[in-house]
Structure 1
Amino acid sequence: MPNALEYKAVNKYFRSKGKLIQALHNINFSVAEGEVFGFVGPNGAGKSTTIKIMLDIIDDYTGDVQLYGVSARNADARKGIAYVPESPALYEQFTPLEILQMGLDMYGIRRTDKDAWCTQWLERFSIGHVAKQRIRSLSKGTAQRVALAHALVVNPKLLVLDEPLSGLDPVGRKDVIEILAEYKKQGGAIFFTSHVLHDVERIADRFGFIHKGELLTTRSPRELAAERADCYLVRYNAEQPIHSSNIQIRDSEFEIEVTQSELPNFIQQISANNGHLLTVKPAVSLETVFFKILNEQNNSNQISN
């Protein structure tokens, strides 16, 4: 059985102001059928470029991208694929019910219960009460739910989501996470980007960190927990950081990751530098890893330069 999505040695260059800039550097990863893969990175890291390549919006790249074993350059590869961008462009003059009905028509799906099927999905996203209101009258969060319902109403085998929880309130986020979990249980695969690292931890089976076009690492929450079982996150106040690897949270507030054996000595260093210990907590956190990798990458770049 082929993977739902596979990138093999993908490179992408852009030309800006006469200079050739490499946007993606030898990207390699795969997403298995029924797997949820989170793609994490700062703005400009290459997340959107990666999505545009798999959707054949960008086609001038080197390497190979396949969707269920078919080249992404082939239009047939996107049969059964649904995509929700970060800012969905829905026709404002239509209603949510009409949007979902159009989705079925565009995919060539014929159902005798079309209205009931579309209404069922709107109700599943808790927006059945606005089924016949114009999109222009809806809030951003409600429109986001319409876009997600539009993607799922066609029963896709792969969902590609760019910041799927953007604009949703806490209740909406919980609902969508539950719906995506159900979709996965039914065998669907998901590739999604997110700036909310806590959501990635809750949804993803594996996640990849991309920074300046380079995929720095891919791992699972289980691997993360195993790697960092002996690590602690220490936050403290001081005039200056005690160690160069400290991350500055705000003025005079810093954070560092230390092992259990290093912890007592570091607490003593805080006191010796007239600092104040704020919190100590286990470092099993995607956010901690994310900033640690960025910090290591930045330090490496400074040394090489």
Structure 2
Amino acid sequence: MTSALEFHSVSKTFHSRGKTVQALRGVSFDVTEGEVFGFVGPNGAGKSTTIKVMLDVINDYEGEVRLYGVSAREAASRRGVAYVPESPALYEQFTPLEILRMALDMYDIRRADAEAWCMQWLERFSVAQNAKRRIRELSKGNVQRVALAHALVVEPRLLVLDEPLSGLDPVGRKDVVDILADYKRDGGAIFFTSHVLHDVERIADRFGFIHQGELLTTRSPRDLVSERADRFIIRYQANAPLDGEHAAIRDGEYEQELDEPALPAFLSRLQTAGGRLVTVKPAVSLETVFFKILEERRPA
């Protein structure tokens, strides 16, 4: 597989007002063609710095970054790369159609059907009905859709997204997830950052957890969850909740979280009490795994 993005032992230190902050600490990972890579971590973890390094906004770092084999310090590396920030700054006096036409011009893409091509992408993001309204007149969610259409209209090889589902309603989130899945199937590579680990579970083939500039692990969601699936959520029906911490779902229905060794005894008590088991599912999610990893790394 061809590497779309490579980070090799990248470190970056900031000096400000007599303070030194190491934003990245020997970060190494790669993203291949046709892969979706999620980059997650808390505020200040180093996600934005990582994007600025790959796009050459920051270039005084240690290590090496390559996009499709070309050093990120060379302008040629960004041919075929599109980026959507968390808060897109689109020209408010322009229309979505004008914004997309501008993208084609900036990438020197000449198409006889340019307007129809742009309208096709606005349609895919469900904003074609606003094609000739000013950006300033659109909702935050629709501006986000226009920004994503602006990135994809140029058919990039690598798509860099910062919180791509931010500001979207549930329908918009599903639409964007489906469009990104199509882009991936066509061989495009995606690098995206997110605070919302549920989004990573929905989109990413692999993810990296970054904390205080250090990449803690790079795995697939399925692998990491399966390794640590040692707790379960039990939903059951009974006249009263069984002993232990529980949550009432509705009258006569409860949820309880248990370690795996405690399951047999709990189910036996439930049967004795005349209750009925509804579901058993792993309690672990990427979010719980992330906090467990952080807890393990805290100084004693």
Structure 1 segments unaligned to the other structure (5+ residues): 235-241, 243-255, 268-278
**SS of 2:143 mapped into structure 1:** helix
Larger Rg: 2
Q: Which amino acid aligns with 2:30?
A: S
**Deviation of 1:20 (Å):** 1.7
Conserved? CA contact 2:225–2:286, under 8 Å: no
Report what 1:156 is aligned to.
156
Match runs of 1:129-278 below 5 Å: 129-232=129-232, 259-261=259-261
Q: Give unpaired runs (5+ residues) of structure 2.
A: 235-244, 246-255, 268-278
State the match for 1:16 in structure 2: 16
Q: Which residue in 1 is equivalent to 2:283? A: 283
- CA distance in structure 2 between the aligned counterparts of 1:221 and 1:184, rounded to whole angstroms: 17
Distance apart, 1:97 and its partner CA: 0.1
* Counterpart for residue 104 of structure 1: 104
Give distance in 2, aligned partners of 1:208 and 1:263: 32
Is the Cα contact below 8 Å between 2:55 and 2:72 reproduced in 1?
yes
- Matches for 1:26-175 after TM superposition, within 5 Å: 26-175=26-175
Structure 1 residue 159, shift from structure 2 partner: 0.2
Q: Specify whether residues 257 and 14 from structure 1 end up closer, same or farther in structure 2 by C-alpha distance, changes over 3 A only.
A: farther
Distance 1:45 1:183 in 2: 28
Structure 2 equivalent of residue 3 of structure 1: 3
Q: Distance in 2 between matches of 1:129 and 1:41?
A: 36
SS of corresponding position for 1:217: strand
Equivalent-residue separation in structure 1 for 2:56 and 2:70 (angstroms): 12
Q: CA deviation at 1:222?
A: 2.5
- On the 8 A contact 1:228/1:283 being kept in 2, the answer is no
CA distance in structure 2 between the aligned counterparts of 1:213 and 1:233, rounded to whole angstroms: 33
Shift of 1:232: 2.8
CA contact (8 A) 2:228 2:289 kept: no
SS where residue 39 of structure 2 aligns? Answer: strand
1:11–1:62 Cα contact (<8 Å) kept: yes
Query: Structure 1 residues 148, 85: CA separation in 2 closer, same or farther (over 3 Å shift)?
Result: same
- How far the C-alpha of 1:197 sits from its partner, in A, is 1.2
Task: Please give the secondary structure, in 1, of the residue aligned with 2:210.
Answer: strand
The separation in 2 between residues aligned to 1:30 and 1:71, in whole angstroms, is 14
How big is the alpha-carbon RMSD for the aligned residues of Structure 1 and Structure 2? 2.3
Alpha-carbon shift at residue 89 of structure 1 (Å) = 0.5
Identity of paired residues, percent? 73
Distance 1:151 1:136 in 2: 19
More displaced 10-residue stretch of structure 1: 225-234 or 113-122 = 225-234
* Aligned mates of 1:170, 1:265 — CA distance in 2: 40
Q: Deviation per CA, 1:148-181: give whole Å up to 9, x if none.
A: 0000000000000000000001111010000000
Q: For residues 233 and 53 of structure 1, do their structure 2 counterparts lie closer, same or farther at Cα, with a shift above 3 Å needed?
A: farther
Q: What TM-score do you get using the length of structure 2 for normalisation?
A: 0.85
Residue 226 of structure 1, CA deviation:
2.7
Render the CA deviation track for 1:40-68: whole Å, top value 9, x for unaligned: 10000000000000000001100000101
Change (3 A) 1:266 1:16: farther
Cα distance in 2 for residues equivalent to 1:281 and 1:210: 28
CA contact (8 A) 1:224 1:284 kept: no
Amino acid aligned to 1:66? R
- Using the alignment, how far apart are the partners of 2:62 and 2:212 within structure 1? 17
Aligned residues: 270
The residue identity in structure 1 corresponding to 2:44 is: G
Instruction: Extract structure 1 runs of 4+ deviating beyond 4 A.
Output: 256-259, 262-267
1:251 aligns to what? none
2:85 partner letter: P
| Offset, 1:265 | 8.5
